[in-house]
């Protein structure tokens, strides 16, 4: 006879989903820090490792569909992240690669990327989500995490 252990009430419990903790979501993106005095003012790229933690109520047995999370992040894969007003934006458009650029209102640092991705996830995910935290690892030495 199968074990019919009572299932706890799931609808009212808050759950946390971690995506990319052990195996990060990876994207390759270029950027530059236009107003920086150092080498980061030059166009360059990184292989970013991104992880996300989402807290919320269950809907159909899960907090969110992992595919909905990765689709938001993947929009930045093989794109160039630039701050609004950067002359490179026009250069990309004139070369026919305007769709390869993501324009941000702030310098495209790992900290800003984490905050932007968090905001996009809040906009995209269902209202049952209560908290989103995004971690963007730019290098083995630099990692930024958004905290609401």
CA pair distance 82, 79, nearest whole angstrom: 10
Task: Write out the catalytic residue numbers.
Answer: 40, 78, 138
Choose among 85, 90, 73, 97: nearest CA to 34: 85
Burial call 23-41: b when 16+ CB within 10 Å, e when fewer: ebbebebbbbbbeeeeeee
CA pair distance 37, 50, nearest whole angstrom: 27
Asked if 111 and 31 count as a contact pair (C-beta separation under 8 A), the reply is no
Tokens of 116: 């932007």
């Amino acid at each position: 006879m199968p074990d019919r252990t009572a299932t706890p009430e799931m609808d009212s419990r808050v759950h946390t989903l971690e995506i990319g903790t052990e195996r990060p979501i990876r994207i390759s993106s270029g950027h530059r820090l236009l107003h920086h005095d150092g080498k980061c003012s030059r166009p360059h790229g990184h292989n970013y490792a991104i992880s996300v933690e989402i807290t919320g109520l269950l809907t159909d047995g899960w907090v969110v569909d992992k595919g909905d999370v990765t689709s938001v992040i993947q929009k930045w894969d093989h794109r160039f992240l630039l701050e609004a007003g950067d002359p490179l934006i026009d250069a990309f458009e004139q070369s026919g690669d305007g769709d390869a650029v993501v324009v941000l209102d702030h310098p495209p640092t790992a900290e800003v990327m984490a905050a932007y991705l968090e905001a996009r996830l809040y906009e995209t995910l269902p209202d049952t989500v209560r908290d989103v935290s995004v971690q963007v690892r730019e290098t083995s030495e630099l990692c930024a995490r958004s905290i609401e």
